[in-house]
Each structure stands twice: as structure tokens, then as C-alpha cells.
Structure 1
């Protein structure tokens, strides 16, 4: 009886500590927002990575005195730093674009609740809006249509995955829309095999899934025998079917987080070919946004060159000469013009900066067609590195 009582006391102490930690995390977050407010009228970057590195080293040293592992301390505070950076960026962007500040936003995404696009939408707007009005669509073109028609404020679109590569259909649709890219998000993708009832892998003969998870989990599927894949328009639709059928021989490929919304059980976790599996999403809207100078920005554009040798190289040399880093180059065929291609380029630059404007002037002279798809805050936060001797 005494052991049981002691255990309950210990658990209560842990619960109280967890509540204290949450209060401290909230207090720290409010202080970092005050930092953002102090930078609002100064052209100072949100991030100071030298200071972040010094902070991590100091915390690691203090943690060791408390018996804490350096890796443990680093992981915790890298997450805290990322949260701080993203919250400061969101605050500065709201100041820069006061006309679009609203407590409620409507977002179109692929599938229904539980899809990866659904989860990405909630993650992106968790810092920006109090309420999200959901609008699930069954196609990428449907998402664009809802935004173009004014039915919703934004559209969330997956653009590339670290395992399966670029999502060509989205790139092709961007050729023909007047919408602007106004944001991005890199979402961790952890594919699981989910079931509606208790089951085992040897009982599964049918898997419902969207084409992207099937492609990203091809190694796992190749090892399974006698399993039939039923393709769905989205992971959410696949989860809905599994939840409705409630059969031990049926599974679905999706996220554990999304599966919980349908009361699905995780049968097998982490089945993707690559363990570090991320999908990059872009957010589109009818009007472009301005990016605060303190924030790392990306500019996405499309261009078409002539058919003469070296014309694309000439364009890339312009970027190099202006010191603009290119993070993505994707080619897609131009519909109705055989053997001609359109090039999509992501650049680490603010559209309104002098070097970017000079670069666009020169590129316009070198290309047959050029169009800016959008300038937006970069949300790919690279973790601050800790010197090896402190790890």
C-alpha cells in the first residue's frame, strides 16, 4: 500500500512540475514577442545565430552540472528557439500586412480532417489566427478554384517531398493561376499503417492510400505479399473508408495524428523509405504579401528561355553575380509546345530588395517569359549548430 501511495505522490509531483514548465514556456514566449516588438522599427534580423550558439553552449554546460545529457538539452532548446523565431516572424508579418490581420481564416486543402494538408493548415495558422474555417477539396485544381473564386482566403498545396520528389501536378497548375504564394511550411511526414480494429500485419490484404504515401513507402510495401492497394483521393478519404468498414483485413496508410481523429489504431509505425521524411507545402492567396526586412524571405518565379544553347546558364549566372542563392530549380513541359520547358526557381531573397529588382531587370532581358509567383517568409528554420567539443 505504501509503494502505491509513494508512486501516486511522485506522479502528482511530476504533474505539478509539468504545469510549472508550461507556465515558464508561456512566459518565455511572451518575452520573445517583446524582442520582436523591439525589432519592429529596426532592420535587424530576427535570428542571431552566434548568440543562439553561445546560449546553447552555456545551457549545455549548466545542464551537465545538473546531470543532463548534452543531446537532451540541445533538442529541447532547439525546439524552443524554432518556436521563438516563428512567433517573431508571424508578429512582424502581421505588422507589415495589417490589412490581412483577422482572427478567422478560411483554408482549402486536399482531403478532409486528418489529411497531411489538413494538419499542415492547422500548424501554419496556429500562430496567426484564432479560428480556421476548413474547406476540404478532392483535387489540387479544386483548391486553386476555391481561392480564385473568393470562396476561401487561402489554399494549402504540397509542392515537394524529401522521398518522392516534386509534385508535378501542382507545378503544372501554377503555370495557369494568378494566385500568389504567400507562405510555406515544411511538415514532418511519419507514415503509419492504421486499422480500425485490433489486427496484425499477417491479416491485412487490402490497404487504402493516396498515391504519394504509396510511393514514399514502396520499400515496405514490396516486402508484403498478397496485399492489394486501393487508391484514394486523399489520406483522409482512405481513413474514412477504413473507419467505416471496421474490418481486420483492411488497413490505411496515414499519420498517427490524423488517424486519431477517426479512432484508428497504429499497427506499424515509420514505414516510409526515408526516416527523415518531410513535405514542403506552399500557401496561396489572391493577393501577394510584403515580407518584413528582418525576416528571411524567399521569392519564387517561373521563366522560359529561348531554344539557343546556354540561355538557362546565362540566367543562372545573373543570380550568381548578384549573390542570390537558388534553393530549387524545377523544369516542367509547356503545355501545347512540345520540347519546350518552363523553369521554376526558388530564391533566397526579398522581392523588394535592390539586388532582387536588379536581377529581375536583367532576367527579363534574357527570357521569353518571366513571372513572379510570390515572395514570402521562409519557415525552414535550420537548427543552430553546437560545436563538437560541447556535444
Structure 2
């Protein structure tokens, strides 16, 4: 047993995790109510179907509304995109996780393919406006750049909402960056397929809950850390993680709003708090960090 386990005072992360582990270990449910940003056909819906195959989906307008639905008790869970392999992390979701102190209880990854959709009979050369979510716009930046500014690109809340807007709108020259499923759902035609910058285009989704729950088989830990602004501070954190034999599968820096050239760090660790030494490691990280947020211990399917 390490000295830190013998002599260190109780920490907030220990209290949080031990409280979550006090309940009997259970498998993740297959049914329940789940909040999803967007409308029918959204990638988040596909993630909901994968995470909770027999769940009842409630569609809401924004990422924050997903949190609100869970916080109010309208839904047991919420599903949100957190990272894309081409366009990086979804900063707003990390901000909400940190501010509202929700827990990640499950995760999944989807292969994302983008198509340019328009009303039947519309030609590619006729398009003057393209609607989509900002993440999808970023994932298709190469194709959009090839249009040489001839088309107005308009961000909206969701790729499925973009398809719905085009289908229901009066502009016959509007198009949406969306999915093949949305083309079928909203009666649109694909006028250009596979417009994403890379075929290796994956989005990671998380399932959140109001209270920390650690389900059976959980093997990924997500954290947000703010280390001291001094030489070797980040290296000290990485060294401690390595010393416990834990793999860091994600490390991303993010600027802190309102603080010049200071950063917080998003971490994913391949570990379970049920493994020996992992909880003491988290306590050490909490002690040496300026701020420390334990986002959850969960499995990715």
C-alpha cells in the first residue's frame, strides 16, 4: 500500500467515487427515458438507439436543454456528442459537464458520413445556401472551400434540423449537410455524397446522468484538470498517471475563457476505479491540480 493511502486526508474525489460504489454493481439498462438534442434523424438519435436500444427519446432544442431535462427528472439520461476525430472536442459540452457537475455513465462511437441534400430536382449548380451544424461544417471544410465562396454556409442547431429546414422551406436552392437517413426521412435527394474531409470520420457520444453511477464493466475515466502555470506542472501529472501503470488515451488542451494563454486539460484514462491503485492516483491528481473535475467512469460500446 502506498503512503498516500495511509496518510492522506479524505478527498472530494474519494467521497464521490466511494458514494457511487456504495450501491450494488449493476449492468447498464436497456430501457429508460433519454434526452437528445435535435429532431428525428439526428446522429444523436442513432447514438441513443445504440446506447439505450429500448429507450424512449425526448427531443430538445439545445445541449443545455439535454442537461435541463435530466436535472428536472423528465429524463433519466441524456446523450451528447463530445468529440469528433476530425474536428476535435465539443467545447460547449465539456463546459456544461464542468459547470453542472453531471456524470458520464456510458459512451459510444459512430462513423459519420455527410451528404449534401436538396429538394428533388434541384441541381448542384443551383445551390445558393447550405445549412448544417457547425461541427459538420468543419468536417466538410475542404468540400465547402472548393465552392469558392459562391454558396452561403449557414450554421444551425443540428444536421437533422438542417435537413428538415430545407425540406419544409420555400427556397428551392437551399441544401443541407446531413445524413442519408435524413434524406429518406424528409424526402430529400442526395446531390453530392461523402463530402466529409476524411472517411475516417468518427464522433464520440456520451450518456450523462444527474448522479454519479459506475456501472459494471466501466473501463474509461474522463477528467478535466487545470494544472499550475509553472514549468513541469503538466509533466508531473503525466508522470503520476504513468507511475500507476495507467494509459492516457486522450490529452487535449483548451484555452480558459478570460485568462490570457492559460489552459485546462481534457483527459481520458483507460482504467476503472475498482482497480487497485486507481482511486489513490485520482486523489494525487486532485491534490496537485489547481482544479479537478471527475467526469465519470464508464464503458464505451
What is the TM-score when the length of structure 2 is the normalising length?
Answer: 0.85
Higher relative contact order (CA 8 A, sep 6+): 2
Query: In the aligned structure 1, how far is the partner of 2:178 from the partner of 2:88?
Result: 18
2:32 equivalent to 1:117 = no
Q: Distance in 2 between matches of 1:357 and 1:178?
A: 19
Q: Report the Cα distance in structure 2 between the residues aligned to 1:355 and 1:248, rounded to whole angstroms.
A: 61
Alpha-carbon distance, 1:370 to partner: 2.1
CA deviation map 1:278-330 (0-9, x unaligned): 111111011223243xx361011222222232111111101111110011112
Give the C-alpha shift of residue 337 in structure 1: 4.8
Once the 2 structures are TM-superposed, how far is the Cα of residue 347 of structure 1 from its aligned partner? 0.3
How much has 1:338 moved relative to structure 2? Answer: 4.7
Task: Tell me the SS of whatever aligns to 2:75.
Answer: coil
Aligned length: 277
Q: Is the 8 A contact 2:218 2:297 kept in 1?
A: no
The match for 1:204 among 127, 142, 148 is: 127
Partner residue in 2 for 1:97: 26
Rounded Cα–Cα distance in structure 2 between residues aligned with 1:371 and 1:206 = 41
Rounded to whole Å, the distance in 2 between the matches of 1:230 and 1:333 is 26
CA distances 1:253-293 after superposition (whole Å, capped 9, x unpaired): 1010133221222221100001111111111011223243x
Residue 106 of structure 1, CA deviation = 1.6
**Quick check: 2:227–2:233 contact (8 Å CA) kept in 1?**
yes
Structure 1 residues 246 and 266, CA, compared in 2 at 3 Å: closer, same or farther? farther
In terms of fraction of residues, the more helix-rich structure is 1
C-alpha RMSD of matched pairs (Å): 2.1
Give the Å deviation of 1:355.
2.1
Q: Which runs of 5+ in 2 are unaligned?
A: 1-23
Larger Rg: 1
Alignment correspondent of 1:360? 282
Higher relative strand content: 2
Normalising by structure 1, we get a TM-score of 0.66
Which whole-Å deviations, capped at 9, do the CAs of 1:27-75 have from their partners, x for residues lacking one?
xxxxxxxxxxxxxxxxxxxxxxxxxxxxxxxxxxxxxxxxxxxxxxxxx
Confirm or deny that 1:144 pairs with 2:71.
no
Of residues 107, 110, 125, the one that matches 2:34 is 107
Per-residue deviation at 1:115? 1.4
Secondary structure in 1 matching 2:228: coil
**Who is 1:304 aligned against?**
226
Which aligned pairs between 1:303-322 and structure 2 lie closer than 5 A?
A: 303-322=225-244
Counterparts of 2:165 and 2:57 in 1: how far apart (Å)? 20
Structure 1 contact 153–285 (Cα < 8 Å) conserved: yes
The 8 Å contact of residues 116 and 177 in structure 2, kept in 1 or not, is answered as: yes
Map of 1:265-280 to 2, 5 A cutoff? Answer: 265-280=189-204
Alignment of 1:179-258 (within 5 A): 179-225=102-148, 226-245=150-169, 248-258=172-182
Which of 249, 253, 256 pairs up with 1:327? 249
Structure 1: which 5+ runs fail to align?
1-94, 380-391
Structure 1 position 239, deviation (Å): 1.2
> How far 1:334 sits from its partner (Å)?
4.1
